Homo-oligomer: A and B are copies of this chain.
Amino acid sequence: MNPLPARTRLSTETRQAEIVDAVLDLSDTVGPGAITTVDIARNLGLTQGAVFKHFPTKDAIWLAVMGWVESHLLSALDAVATAAPTPLEGLQAVFMKHARFVAKHPGVPRLIFNELQKPKDTPVKRRARSMQESYRKLLMRLLAEAEKRGEVAAGLDREGAATLFIGALQGLMFQAMLASSTAKLEAEAKRVFSLYLNALREPS
């Protein structure tokens, strides 16, 4: 009748990271909409109640996961963008890095799709939107620099070009989720980016 001794005892900080990690995994295997706190607990070897020692609500977990995505994805994209010798190569590096990130973490697009399916403007959605805004800024910087250097058409619709850039990647995610596989994502991304580059050239 007495509770068994706690298996392991870790700091909230560590457990939170473990929980985020578990959710990322489960997002791919179970699907975000079907993840329960029992699933998460079992994944960590804990009881269900223990999860609530580290997050007040389930929603708080989703928000933390979104935070993980924001920091990891954006910093990776920033890194490859600034490492590239030219703006156009920067765009390509960002495009491919993003594609590879999604292929490596298929739980992430699933997670976001699950959020977008809700009509309300949830905190998680707001966070995703702010992430996309930072992303746009990065793209606009690269596009402006490319235009200055004459690598793309003068007078290019840069806002539209940024929308198409992100949109093309989101479309590739969509198609990967539809195929229930990210196997072909990277190859498709390569072809699509070639076409994208063509769209930035001087109109004839």
Which 6 pairs between the two chains have the least Cβ-Cβ distance? A167-B171, A199-B199, A160-B191, A116-B177, A170-B171, A170-B174
Residues of chain B within 8 A of A178, CB atoms compared:
116, 125, 128-129, 132
Q: How large is the interface on A (under 10, 10 to 19, 20 to 34, 35 or more residues)?
A: 35 or more
A interface residues, Cβ below 8 angstroms from B:
28-34, 110-111, 113-114, 116-121, 125, 128-129, 132, 157, 159-161, 163-164, 166-175, 177-180, 188, 191-192, 194-196, 198-204
Contact A117 B33, beta carbon cutoff 8 Å = yes
Q: How far is the CA of A177 from the CA of B114 in the complex (A)?
A: 11
Q: How far is the CA of A158 from the CA of B179 in the complex (A)?
A: 20
Chosen A-B contacts, 29 in total, with CB atoms closer than 8 Å, are A30-B119, A31-B117, A31-B120, A32-B117, A110-B118, A110-B119, A113-B117, A114-B117, A116-B177, A117-B177, A125-B178, A125-B180, A132-B178, A157-B195, A160-B191, A161-B195, A163-B172, A163-B192, A164-B168, A167-B170, A168-B171, A170-B175, A171-B171, A171-B174, A173-B174, A196-B199, A198-B199, A198-B203, A201-B203
Q: How would you classify the secondary structure of chain A's contact residues: helix, strand, loop or mixed?
A: helix
List chain B residues, Cβ under 8 A from A164: 168, 171, 192, 195-196
